[in-house]
Structure 1
Amino acid sequence: MEAALRRQPAALGPQPIGAGDAITPLSCRLQRTAIERLLEQSPSLRRMLDEEIIERVYGKAVRDAVIDTDLERHLFPVRCPYRLAQILDEDWLPEA
């Protein structure tokens, strides 16, 4: 589950300005669809989704983004700025 959530930081919000490729609404939708499919295939995974796992996955996604973009860690929020419900909401996108 963590690997699916970490695969694309897009689902967890925008990267700082100047960070590699732009995150598009389509990439957010694709990642959410992948997570939705995982939850449909394994409904028991849904009970594992909570704010604690979001924080753990967010930390790993930031680590990966720092490596991928050469941006410094302090440019990213310390904690995930979004709630689980927002992250999974197919119609919600972070403000640019």
Structure 2
Amino acid sequence: MSFSTHVLNAVTGRPAAGVPVRLEHEGRVVAQGTTDGDGRVKGWNPGAGVHRVVFDTSALTTFYPEVVITFLIDDPDGHYHVPLLLSPFAYSTYRGS
């Protein structure tokens, strides 16, 4: 299984590069990195279970200095893509492909 994410700045309509991201499982950090020039982090292989992806969004908005998305990986052969669309006073996410 694999995991990827990306961050889109909904104000500019552009990818958000340089956003620190970490992936947690059972209270410990299993992967961490920073979004690339296309706003993406990819290639993580965290395994099954409940995970939290944590975005340090403090450079993009002061209202949401951190966004945490909790999700379940239940298919060991699947790909999980969890994007974040962010604006100063709102954010959304979905299961991508």
TM-score (norm 1): 0.31
| Bigger helix fraction | 1
TM-score (norm 2): 0.31
